[in-house]
Structure 1
């Protein structure tokens, strides 16, 4: 399987079906922010969702972790809600914790992040909304 699966709906479907734990990097405590709404959707879809946001300690009564390394269980997908320039660093952190895949939201796409993921044999999706993909591929 190619590591960049941004245009591969079948690979995205398989990834979403096989995954159980999603860490949302940049999860906002503001319920009107997209990251919050998509995390809520993922929870309703049955995923265990961890908030990763170093600026807060709790979101909706659940612990928010300062980094991926602090998440207490293995991560299937790291869902990234950070600006494009931060994606390579998030990819480094995701690889370091052994995340099975990286999913960068709509508008987030970086060639260095893609190269790093490919070098680590870690599937990456960029510039695709995980909620839209999930609702299209699994509903």
Structure 2
């Protein structure tokens, strides 16, 4: 049976949130979704383009609704992005490992969002041998994959 982490990739339309003025945009997640044949939309309030594609300042600016979102913005912004996801009706959110906060988790629970935290989405998106596959083996050994 697939885990909640695996089920996250059952959707077709995703937003990937970053803030490239503060830290590099999460291209591995963005490109990984596209490589799986998913529609990935870049949400970055500090960029007009990501990887040659349009970037949108927030969820309300997207050309169509998304089913799920990966948040890899600075930790200080995580709660605000979860609130924006709730406002947009997004029910599946993955907060990149180390970027989650108790406030963001509580807000997600309050709004019925299926939240994934404590892990890196790239482990599920990047096939082959890499430091992400090593991370994947460790998480499997710990029963957290």
TM category (shorter chain) comes to 0.7 to 0.9
Q: Given that residues 42 and 131 in structure 1 are in contact (C-alpha distance below 8 angstroms), is that contact kept between their aligned partners in structure 2?
A: no
2:14 aligned with 1:22, yes or no?
A: yes
Aligned length: 125
In 1, Cα distance between equivalents of 2:68 and 2:110: 17
2:23 aligned with 1:12, yes or no?
A: no
For structure 2, the 5+ residue unaligned runs are 127-135, 141-145
- The 3-state SS of whatever aligns with 1:49 is strand
TM-score (normalised: structure 2): 0.77
In 2, Cα distance between equivalents of 1:106 and 1:15: 15
TM-score (normalised: structure 1): 0.80
Q: 2:100 aligns with which of 106, 109, 113?
A: 109
1:10 shift after superposition:
1.5
2:80 aligned with 1:89, yes or no?
A: yes
Q: Given that residues 32 and 125 in structure 2 are in contact (C-alpha distance below 8 angstroms), is that contact kept between their aligned partners in structure 1?
A: no
What aligned pairs does 1:50-129 form with structure 2 within 5 A after superposition?
A: 50-129=41-120
For structure 1, the 5+ residue unaligned runs are 1-8
Highest Rg: 1 or 2?
A: 2
In 2, Cα distance between equivalents of 1:47 and 1:124: 20
CA RMSD of aligned residues (A): 2.2
Q: Given that residues 23 and 75 in structure 1 are in contact (C-alpha distance below 8 angstroms), is that contact kept between their aligned partners in structure 2?
A: yes
Q: Given that residues 76 and 100 in structure 1 are in contact (C-alpha distance below 8 angstroms), is that contact kept between their aligned partners in structure 2?
A: yes
The structure showing larger relative contact order (alpha-carbon pairs under 8 Å, at least 6 residues apart) is: 1
1:75 shift after superposition:
1.3
Match of 1:47 in 2: 38
